[in-house]
Amino acid sequence: MNIIIFFLVGLIVHVVFFLSIFDIYFTSPLVHGMTPWATPLEPPASRLVLVVADGLRADSLFTPLNNGSSRTSYLRRVIEERGTWGVSHTRVPTESRPGHVALIAGFYEDVSAVAKGWKENPVEFDSVFNESRHTWCWGSPDILPMFAKGASGDHVYTYTYPAEEEDFASTDASKLDTWVFTQVKSFFQSAKSNSSLKASLLEDKNIFFLHLLGIDTNGHAHRPMSQEYLDNIGLVDSGVAETVALIEDFFGYDGRTAYVFTSDHGMTNWGSHGAGHPSETLTPLVVWGAGVNHAQRVTEPQPYTDGYLQDWKLEHIRRNDVSQADIAPLMASLIGVPIPVNSVGLLPLSYLNNTDRFKAESMYTNAFQVLEQFKVKMTQKKESTLSFLFTPFQLLTESKQAEFSHKARILIQLEKYEDAISLCQSLISHSLEGLVYYHTYDRFFLGCSVVLGFVGWTSYVVLVILKTHTSLNRHPRLIGQNVNHTLARLCMCVAVVITVFLLIQRSPITYYIYCLLPVPVWYSVLKESGTLSDLIHSAPSLPLWKCLGYFVLVAFGIELLVVSFFHRAVLTVGLAVLSLWPFLSGLYGKTKFRSLSWFLGCLCLAAFPLMPVVGRESNIHLVTCAGLLTLLTSSCYLWSSRQRTPLHSGGQQFVVQMLHVAVCAYVPSLTHSSLQQKQGLPLLNQIISWTTLASSMLVPLLSSTRLFHRLLSIFLSLTATYLLLSTGSEALFPPVLSWLMFVWINIEQEAVLFQTASGRQELSAIDFSANIDITKMRQMKLDDIRRSYFFVFFIITAFFGTGNIASINSFDPASVYCFLTVFNPFIMGGLMMWKVIIPFIIVMCTFETIQVATQLSSRSLFLIVLVISDLMALHFFFLVQDHGSWLDIGTSISHYVIVMSMTIFLMLLSVVTHILTSRRLYLWKKPKMHFP
């Protein structure tokens, strides 16, 4: 197969494997067509005020001060006297969008929808706002529009401040919350003189939503333990007190207003969120007003063993914890609107102050609202599955649904409310299990199809390696032309059968791709079975023990890489083992200095996986030190190559680049100093940062294509950008990694010379752009498997060496402050992703250099890399199938996505790296032509 065609086919196959995990595990749980359910009785409240303090941790609100007082005196008084309180448990990802969807719509948004944007509404869903008569919202332009856009009709009104106000460098981010309280005050004052607005406000089923972003912004900028964060909480408390007084006064203290105060997510001590740390998943919930239970004092121990009650000095007040999605049915019940049809929340009855009948009817409504979703899901799956293959959910067959409905209704009529509530809660539990059952109905079938394709593709790549890059003894093929035709016809028949089966089941188009892809893949494998025959015939002449030893080592190495995704310290162990390679292989006797350099480089790099992934405090002095180390390393590069290859005109560019690195090492210090003094981001620093980023891939193309000169230019250019994106010890990673990569290039050449009798080719004389003599390209050897494994190992180390991928909440917004401070999730995410890619490119350029220096076809080594990464991905796919808990499944899925992304990225980056190393950009003058 032509190399270009092979590359394109491989890319398509891996993209399909990558996307399959989202169709299997991350499809939207939403269904449509349900009938809304509302409690038939009179609701206790006419209106509801929802206050969401974005980024507020539970302990930050509930923990009293050292003197026993509270920074939230008003809410503390509500907890102890007027309302009901508890902890709202959120789910991963602990981000603003999924948190607000859970609060207001009652379901946990699927990952694919979260990734589609903040300001749009990528999936149509119902919400409490949509079911209300009118909803008025004040707050962030990132949150409010998605609920207004999804609402039916024109009854959700939003008032937002400009996006530019969400500035992490702001002198006082609490002004965002002050803006909200001021706008609410102005709104009610204007309503007194606006008769139409006043009439709308006096209607029932109204909601007022206050989204307060100041706490979250201050937490990111200054950390949750900072005075700014804590003072902002006090400001919110006083603002809530004033707003409650304002609203009560406007409505004449009619006692028909319910209040809900909570948060969408918490925040870690280091100012991030997104993962599952308790500081992120535990948020406060305080509810009071119409229809809500007053504080209940208790003397006996409460059933919570987390120790928070003692820390918060609230042992004497009953605590009522909920899941975040439970708040939506609670709000709907308080004002008498239908529970959002997509809600999976369970109504927390402990918060309601109403009759037993009202509680039973509300729970009945909740149960059948969830059951409606189950019915629609079951009907959809039943209609798209052949009748003899359909297996219903046994706990809720149609007869059992009718039995539940009839029995619950009878119990309510007989005034056996507690029994009715218990039965309805059981029905909700069964319905939620059934939703999961039908939502994952095709998971095993699709998983088998993907595994079949995966194994087939990996087998095909192995056969291609054996056929085109090894010296097997060739024998006449066992499969003739007629057999090939028969095989093609058989595969066509299988494809037709699969297509007809999927058509009958009305399967989505993606199912056709996953199920049909294995057919051509296995056809290609069976066509190459003659290569397997060659291997069998060549077996007696192969060093079988050496082959077996390599196989065992590679299998162990792949397992080590898989384990490193769960335990980063394993990379340290791996690097320690790799450091012994020159001594075990005999290279030490031939090149002592390079062997010792390799040993020390591996041990220095081994320190980084042991550093904390999250919770690191910013240390800009280390960024400056990294800049000095970069200059020192660059000087060593120049000194080592100057003896053999004079720099000529290229020396001026390196001097300029080194001065640029020095500037970029100083800019973060200047920027963070300015932000600490609350003077904002200096414009000059911002210009330098963006200019450095824009030129990082172009500047190396101006340098010589000689090996060391080009690598040095790439290193200086990328490190300058990396320094601007660093806040601490991670800035030291690229210089140390580059040092080890430089040694790797040198020692690999020695390894080739050690194994062959060919003459030495000076590394400094190699030119990336020189024409390659095909006749000098050698066949693949067993040692090339080791080179490919080293490459994959260093790629994984580049991923996890600084903790940038290991956890969502290791992404510190402070990393991008040299570029921008105004909140923009996409630009910030892109900059952080580029920071992750930079070590990747350093390793890729090194691998490209080794391919040239060892005179091996780049396709040969890359095919082995492909096999290793595919085996890792397949390992994670099997782990996903084996795990029972969603936490374990989610971890394995994320690792599978990382490996597949890495493989696809490597395939694309190999082209970029080739251009980066072997091309030259002439801007000012044409190259001189030399003739013999």
Tell me what pLDDT residue 642 has.
63
Tell me what pLDDT residue 360 has.
96
Tell me what pLDDT residue 272 has.
81
Mean pLDDT by 10 residues, the chain (932 residues): 73 85 78 87 96 96 91 95 96 87 88 48 76 95 79 82 82 90 96 94 96 93 90 96 96 96 92 84 97 93 90 94 97 96 95 96 96 93 85 90 92 94 96 91 86 89 77 56 78 93 87 91 84 70 70 83 83 92 85 90 91 72 92 80 57 86 94 86 93 90 81 91 90 92 87 62 67 55 82 87 56 84 83 87 87 71 80 78 50 71 74 68 46 34
Question: Which amino acid belongs to residue 180?
Answer: V
Tell me what pLDDT residue 118 has.
43
**CA distances in angstroms from 821 to 174, 226, 431, 595, listed in the order given:** 16, 18, 46, 45
DSSP 342: T
Tell me what pLDDT residue 312 has.
95
Nearest CA among 678, 675, 825, 823 for reference residue 176: 823
Structure tokens at 781: 């050897």
Tell me what pLDDT residue 31 has.
85
Structure tokens at 449: 């199809």
Nearest CA among 205, 793, 850, 307 for reference residue 556: 793
Tell me what pLDDT residue 884 has.
46
CA 795 – CA 231 distance, rounded (Å): 44
Domains, the chain, in order of start with CATH, read 47-351 (3.40.720.10), 443-541 (no CATH), 544-918 (no CATH)
- What is the edge-to-edge ordering of all strands in the sheet holding 282-289? 156-160, 134-139, 206-212, 47-53, 257-262, 282-289, 83-89, 322-323
Q: Which residues contact 77 (CB under 8 A, 6 or more apart)?
A: none
Convert the pLDDT of each residue in 194-241 to its tens digit: 999 999 999 999 999 999 999 999 998 888 999 999 999 999 999 999
Place of tokens 């009071």: 288
Structure tokens at 440: 């994952």
Tell me what pLDDT residue 764 has.
64
**CA distances in angstroms from 663 to 621, 685, 689, 903, listed in the order given:** 14, 10, 10, 35
Tell me what pLDDT residue 932 has.
34
| Contact between 155 and 134 (Cβ < 8 Å) | yes
Nearest CA among 279, 313, 215, 308 for reference residue 57: 279
Nearest CA among 320, 337, 321, 318 for reference residue 329: 337
